[in-house]
Structure 1
């Protein structure tokens, strides 16, 4: 299953947006990888904040790009507050 995920670190008060087809494996990477160059190495308290299940990898990558381009904590918080935003994103990028 392809999905877009958003992680949150309370320590940094920051979000991380990504795409994966295996969320458990990807979360393990973010929490335990020794790669110090990656953004998520700055904290060890990353938690899954939100996820959107997609029909295809292409759709997931388009939605990930859309969310990143918004550059807004408020937009990310509104994804939870207003579930219809996710539905509209899935529809908007359905034919990608």
Structure 2
């Protein structure tokens, strides 16, 4: 199993989107600045806002890239309000 996740930092007032087979462990890595050159290194108060289960790593990477290409906070908040959007995006995947 793999997951697409969206985390949020109150101190930065920013969202971050990623993929992982173990979201809780990945969150711990983000908050401990394990990823030295990652956008998430600017805060240590990240919390999970969405954990979306996906059958394959390829689909998780596809969704992660799709969301990041949108470069839209409104789009992320729309997904948080209605995660079914992610299923629709996957169903239209080429």
Q: Same fold (TM over 0.5)?
A: yes
Count of aligned residue pairs for this structure pair: 94
The TM-score, its normalising length taken from structure 2, stands at: 0.87
- Is 1:71 aligned with 2:64? no
Structure 1 residue runs of 5 or longer lacking an equivalent are none
Q: Gaps spanning 5+ residues in structure 2: where?
A: none
Secondary structure of 1:3's partner?
A: strand
Task: Decide whether the 8 Å contact of 1:7 with 1:50 is kept in 2.
Answer: yes
Contact 1:54 1:90 in 2 (8 A): no
- Whole-angstrom CA distance in 1 between matches of 2:74 and 2:54: 22
Per the alignment, residue 49 of structure 2 pairs with 49
Which 4+ runs in 1 deviate beyond 6 A? none
In 2, distance between residues paired with 1:60 and 1:37?
22
What's 1:62 paired with?
62
Distance 1:84 1:34, change over 3 A: closer
Shift in Å at residue 39 of structure 1? 1.7
